[in-house]
Structure 1
């Protein structure tokens, strides 16, 4: 393809009063973000630039609260697109290549005089589409021009240096846009003469000699069908009376159960589907999942066919493919498969999605996260300072298994399974809402040293993140160190979102220390049986809990001598030690229920939610009061 849409800047278009998008891949960009963040507006903006048939109206102009019709009609929407030679790195501004980056010879010929050069002789083409109200016509229209260069962010709306020549339609024919929205349906497409399906099958070319033979065979088949059917014979005889009425002896009525003319094939084409254990059924008998998928495959077929035609004519061609929610109506496994098929498309692809299954298949650097803060659209991509090992962890430990994290309004990170399963119950009690209702995910990172990839993910995509951490000294130091390395100048603000458990405890030890022994024993024995703790004490007392180094040095190897640490549950405080040991080795027995027992057994008093969890919720409520408002 040898080129890419590298950057898109939008002003006053639909909900996007001001938004800048950078694309780092010439093959694919995946847009994620909450509903109404601006994903569809972004796709429509690209259509407005490259599709001359894209209809525009007052609905495409940003409307501020209280705006009148006259305000909208006096406002212009601006969409700038930067096209660069395809180099797999962010090229909107910083270029470090020692040699100039140039388009291929074919594209240089196609773009011609519209190619701009920067100070380092790197080539680019900058297109502007301006949507404005034409008062003489009484309607909105699109004006497309080529910019002399790529303007600075702050000068976009004032910039007016254009090439005098206006690009012709042939300029844009090499940059076609193909768009599928989330409401796609092959059954509707088979009836729509403007669909990709109809465009593909409208001109079925067949060798003339074969065409004549096929039509003769069809005529014979039609005659045989009529002759075999009493009903059709009867109908044919009665309809033949028309020749008597019209006094036209040479005329006759012919019934064609099967299409007679090959030229009609495209209009009468029917798609059926059959699996290995069923009969053939037409598409309108299948569910929306199959129909949606077939619609996408039709687009794939149409794009590939157009590429073959352009290749045979030796013409430049860079398809721009815009797909809204390709996962619609599909099973999660099918969603994974469809993204592989999407990536097989030849062209530059932009996909908007809400599917963790699709996100799990994506190169993390191809993700464009879109959000709104105080009405302003913010776009984020993965930080470039991520190491190869961190990237591996991000792909395989987060995106492949926890892709839904990218769709979070907020993350709460903790270390262990018990916290991960308990915090949602306490959250529900405190806020009277489930976590999913406000877009919060709680994640066990699996240990104090494993926060980093999750924090880098949150930092890159500007997702608010809180940490509920164990309180051991080395854990506290690890958390402080990793937060400082990632958040840098915002370290102090991020540390305000961290809660450490008290007295050096992990979560189970903290609950014991806070006096929730009775609740823990009940939760444990509810699952493992009455008297389970006593049996644990009898079985484990006097056994080794591990080995530790002594001060005694071995005379042979000059190393510290190790000895067994023997459990003693009958000393003073031994019952607490026994309970902690039992809890650590049987977390699955109580982790999902302990919160319920704490709440139920302390209903109405201050112990209903442990103090450190209250501290965490207080920070969330204080620093992100919009969550409380949404509740």
Structure 2
């Protein structure tokens, strides 16, 4: 039994148009703050949580459209949640009956048949709220649906059937002790009450009777009992309840179980330490351990391999889902890795799944891309959910390595600036700050390509619908530079960038001169740079960002007049490479004189060191005074995109 789809409509950040979240055995929910990740976990808790408080629909759960007129609410609001379950174990020909505990438990609801798969069932939680704040809920099973998947016939679901599916929600902000206490009562308490105590009951009654007798023989207890009886007799004259006494009512097993707690040994200076003394992270680990342990016990009982429990009293879950929100808040990275490993093993069970909502970029390098669900707010501030679709063959491996796992921070960005390398990562945030675009405040990430193909990032960002701009090196006169770089950008924009309007055609791209042809000398760009800038691709001209910054701020980079000399052939090869094109006509007057300074600082010296040192000497006004024009245009584009994005 597996939960395959969760549909949400009118629930928190999910608008009235239904959104489907496809789920795997272990699913990771990613996205910026406020994008709807927590809403998915809470939706599952509203449907199947053990905690009555988490299961109850609240007024804040109802979606309020962003364009709704303030002070004029509708007469009622509606939300609904649907959970689709399938039974892949039915497709196994050699499955034994004791390996299918979920099937008989849900047989009454397995009436919704898929066209190309095994029997499935759909549970539906619907709620409405009126102007007085009164909420009505219904929890049903869908019997029939129309061609568009809309339910046309439903049946009520009993409390016992609903409780057979259990969701354990661990929120990011919590009091761990509350979760442990409730888990101990709801899980361990139920298990111990369902245990077979027949052999031990008489022995425990005798032993507790001896303990109570010893306690009552204490002089202090006798004095309290006598004094209480005397005062009670003076106030109460009835025949019933006439003789009070101090009693230790723990002679029955059930009374002893009420005092159950979880302790650990050894402790620091004491033999047993109560769980409340654990750190928040350790208490979270304990909670997860309890859920995993009780799931294993329930599975053994359902399969008939464990007869130490009364199955009617235990009522083990036939399906368990653990929903963890931002575990990195209370767990260090190595503990987090252990939790992921435990969740992976847990989710391989036919009757178990796990969801993890995370903001931890480092975690994504351990995650299969297919298990990621990316959340983002649309322009109308409703949640959209996207999958990462992998290409086929060897291209998929490069896509994962050079796109998905290369810079995980981009998953949590409102906008991404793609640059060539380390220089862009250092320089651009400082220049944007001078322009008033604070990358942290605006949730803008500057992502270095680091030699990777830009098409992998464009493919990923388009799939996730994350806006972006790109700054590439024009590399005039370098191998495949100039027209070659424009041709490369245009070709990949046409193939991978989902940008509207995009008027590029293959005929246009074929007309771009080859970089080293007779027509490859880049005297002018024939309008191509402006055309690509409208599509979000900018070029550091004429060479790269390092050269552009050197010319814009020569004093900050300590360029002396005597260092401005025409380069010889050896210097041209050192800067442009052995297979460089001719430079005459492609560089403006005075630009070639900076080659020697460029070579000493950025080819021989350290790029990060020189950039950090130079921009530290310049204030905002000085940076903006001679800001390269292409960067000024790019920042205009960034500001325009940010204005249209919800936060």
TM-score w.r.t. the length of structure 2 is 0.72
Match of 2:298 in 1: 306
Change (3 A) 1:26 1:45: same
Change (3 A) 1:604 1:453: closer
Match of 2:634 in 1: 616
SS at match of 1:599: coil
User: Following the alignment from structure 1 to structure 2, what is the Cα–Cα distance between the partners of residues 408 and 547?
Assistant: 36
Change (3 A) 1:140 1:417: same
User: Following the alignment from structure 2 to structure 1, what is the Cα–Cα distance between the partners of residues 60 and 45?
Assistant: 15
Q: Is the 8 A contact 1:6 1:22 kept in 2?
A: no
Residue 426 (structure 1) shift: 1.0
Residue 442 (structure 1) shift: 0.8
Change (3 A) 1:193 1:365: closer
User: Following the alignment from structure 1 to structure 2, what is the Cα–Cα distance between the partners of residues 244 and 195?
Assistant: 36
Considering Cα pairs closer than 8 Å and 6+ residues apart, tell me whether 1 or 2 has the greater RCO: 2
User: Following the alignment from structure 1 to structure 2, what is the Cα–Cα distance between the partners of residues 263 and 107?
Assistant: 30
- Is 1:263 equivalent to 2:268 in the alignment? no
Match of 1:482 in 2: 492
Tell me the alpha carbon deviations over residues 582-631 of structure 1, each in whole angstroms, 9 at most, x when there is no partner: 42232255255155246349627621x3333222211111233247x98x
Tell me the alpha carbon deviations over residues 461-502 of structure 1, each in whole angstroms, 9 at most, x when there is no partner: 111111111112234333333332212564838862111111
Change (3 A) 1:210 1:481: same
User: Following the alignment from structure 2 to structure 1, what is the Cα–Cα distance between the partners of residues 643 and 411?
Assistant: 21
The counterpart of 2:558, out of the listed 512, 517, 521, is 521
Match of 1:498 in 2: 537
SS at match of 1:13: coil
Tell me the alpha carbon deviations over residues 524-543 of structure 1, each in whole angstroms, 9 at most, x when there is no partner: x9xxxxx9x99xx9xx9999
Match of 1:116 in 2: 112
Residue 234 (structure 1) shift: 5.9
Residue 108 (structure 1) shift: 6.2
User: Following the alignment from structure 1 to structure 2, what is the Cα–Cα distance between the partners of residues 372 and 145?
Assistant: 30
Q: Is the 8 A contact 1:418 1:587 kept in 2?
A: no
- Bigger mean CA deviation after superposition, 188-197 or 298-307: 188-197
Q: 1:260-409 to 2 correspondence within 5 Å?
A: 262-273=253-264, 281-312=273-304, 317-345=318-346, 346=349, 347-387=352-392, 389-393=394-398, 395-396=400-401, 402-409=407-414
- Is 1:444 equivalent to 2:440 in the alignment? no
Match of 1:553 in 2: none
User: Following the alignment from structure 1 to structure 2, what is the Cα–Cα distance between the partners of residues 576 and 610?
Assistant: 18
Match of 1:606 in 2: 625
Residue 395 (structure 1) shift: 4.8
Change (3 A) 1:121 1:589: closer
The counterpart of 1:27, out of the listed 25, 45, 63, is 25
Residue 379 (structure 1) shift: 2.8
Change (3 A) 1:398 1:66: same
Q: 1:51-200 to 2 correspondence within 5 Å?
A: 54-64=55-65, 65-66=68-69, 71-73=74-76, 75-86=77-88, 110-111=106-107, 114-117=110-113, 123-132=119-128, 139-149=135-145, 151-152=147-148, 159=150, 161-163=152-154, 165-169=155-159, 171-189=161-179, 191-192=181-182, 196-197=186-187, 199-200=189-190
The counterpart of 1:507, out of the listed 545, 549, 569, is 545
Q: Is the 8 A contact 2:434 2:620 kept in 1?
A: no
User: Following the alignment from structure 1 to structure 2, what is the Cα–Cα distance between the partners of residues 260 and 403?
Assistant: 59
Aligned length: 562
Q: Is the 8 A contact 1:56 1:142 kept in 2?
A: no
Tell me the alpha carbon deviations over residues 265-302 of structure 1, each in whole angstroms, 9 at most, x when there is no partner: 43323334468877554333333222233223223333
RMSD of aligned residue pairs (Cα, Å): 4.7
Q: Is the 8 A contact 1:411 1:441 kept in 2?
A: yes
Q: Is the 8 A contact 2:328 2:336 kept in 1?
A: yes
Residue 200 (structure 1) shift: 4.9
Name stretches of at least 5 consecutive residues in structure 1 with no aligned partner: 88-96, 98-102, 526-530, 551-571
Tell me the alpha carbon deviations over residues 294-316 of structure 1, each in whole angstroms, 9 at most, x when there is no partner: 22322333333333333337999
Name stretches of at least 5 consecutive residues in structure 2 with no aligned partner: 92-96, 234-240, 305-310, 476-480, 504-531, 581-590
Q: Is the 8 A contact 1:79 1:129 kept in 2?
A: yes
Change (3 A) 1:111 1:542: closer
Q: Is the 8 A contact 2:455 2:492 kept in 1?
A: yes
User: Following the alignment from structure 1 to structure 2, what is the Cα–Cα distance between the partners of residues 477 and 252?
Assistant: 95
Tell me the alpha carbon deviations over residues 96-124 of structure 1, each in whole angstroms, 9 at most, x when there is no partner: x9xxxxx9987665345743345557644
SS at match of 2:153: coil
User: Following the alignment from structure 2 to structure 1, what is the Cα–Cα distance between the partners of residues 320 and 285?
Assistant: 20
The counterpart of 1:203, out of the listed 190, 193, 197, is 193
User: Following the alignment from structure 1 to structure 2, what is the Cα–Cα distance between the partners of residues 150 and 511?
Assistant: 63
Q: Is the 8 A contact 1:16 1:377 kept in 2?
A: yes
Match of 2:42 in 1: 44
Residue 13 (structure 1) shift: 2.6
TM-score w.r.t. the length of structure 1 is 0.74
User: Following the alignment from structure 2 to structure 1, what is the Cα–Cα distance between the partners of residues 453 and 598?
Assistant: 27
Change (3 A) 1:253 1:573: closer
Q: Is the 8 A contact 1:144 1:167 kept in 2?
A: yes
The counterpart of 2:16, out of the listed 18, 22, 25, is 18
User: Following the alignment from structure 1 to structure 2, what is the Cα–Cα distance between the partners of residues 275 and 611?
Assistant: 67
Q: Is the 8 A contact 2:3 2:86 kept in 1?
A: yes
Match of 1:579 in 2: 598
Q: Is the 8 A contact 2:45 2:167 kept in 1?
A: yes
Change (3 A) 1:200 1:469: farther
